[in-house]
Amino acid sequence: MSLIDLANPSRFLALTARALPWLAAATVLAFAIGITEVYFAPDDYQQGATVKIMFIHVPAAWLGVFAWIVMSAAALGTLVWRHPLADVAAKAAAPIGAAFTLMCLVTGSLWGRPMWGTYWVWDARLTSVLVLFLMYLGVIALWRTMDDPAQAARAAAVLTLVGAINIPIIKFSVDWWNTLHQPASVLRLGGSTIHPAILVPLIVMAVAFTLLFVTLHVAAMRNEIMRRRVRTLMMLQAGARMGP
């Protein structure tokens, strides 16, 4: 079976019906291991126990950005190959990405208050992540403004690719500008600066969050395919009522 075969909506539904329970089980298992690791992780020598917020804040930030990268790849599928499953992937990823970005903003704010003395500051990293969240809301709103899914998909794809310029800005904002937010400490040239006792739980939680994203995205894609089938049936019903 080739990749293009998997891109068939009916085959996608059949395949994911079998894969989804396994994905959900893997997600639960990863979170069980991750939460246990977090429980036993030592306090940071400077930040104390507040470092525990990092185990949800950082994976949420990564997934908030990752979801936009997924949407950008799907946008190329929409604009270049005009494949309807690419539209479905992009539309299904937007609310999930928005939720992870919101989680990043909320947990970051709750981490910032005891460590920085403020819930919010308009520095480049925080502002660029807030822009990402607003772009998610914009894409979701755009999808809802058009009845025709194919037309909405093309408009949303253009907006997504334009918005992708914010991704490197988020990543390098802490290097390009003076920010209250700390510079990269995990994904950086020269390796991580975090002690393994804290890095390992962080990586396990990042894997758990990634599995959660994949599980939710697949489930949301299945819903979106069903929604389009409902739309098709409604049009057939309306056509039958109008007669020949």
The site for other proteins (CB under 8 A) is made up of 8-11, 39, 43, 48-50, 52-53, 56-57, 60, 84, 95-96, 99, 102-103, 106-107, 110-111, 113-114, 212, 216, 219-220, 222-223, 225-233, 236-237, 240
Judged by CB, which is closer to other proteins: 17, or 162? 17
**Any idea which residue has 């950005």 for tokens?**
65
Judged by CB, which is closer to other proteins: 85, or 169? 85
Q: What is residue 48's three-state secondary structure?
A: strand
Considering the complex, what minimum distance in angstroms separates the CB of residue 196 from other proteins? 20
Judged by CB, which is closer to other proteins: 189, or 240? 240
Q: What is residue 45's three-state secondary structure?
A: coil
Considering the complex, what minimum distance in angstroms separates the CB of residue 60 from other proteins? 7
Judged by CB, which is closer to other proteins: 84, or 163? 84
Q: How many of the other CB atoms lie within 10 Å of CB of 191?
A: 8
Considering the complex, what minimum distance in angstroms separates the CB of residue 75 from other proteins? 20
CB-based contacts of 75: which residues, under 8 Å, 6+ apart? 86, 90, 156, 157, 158, 160, 161
Considering the complex, what minimum distance in angstroms separates the CB of residue 72 from other proteins? 21
Q: What is residue 95's three-state secondary structure?
A: helix
Q: Phi/psi zone of residue 65: left (φ > 0), alpha (ψ -120 to 50 degrees), beta?
A: alpha
Query: What is the C-alpha to C-alpha distance for residues 101 and 64, in angstroms, rounded to an integer?
Result: 5
Judged by CB, which is closer to other proteins: 170, or 225? 225
* Residue 226 CB-half CA count within 13 A: 8
Considering the complex, what minimum distance in angstroms separates the CB of residue 78 from other proteins? 15
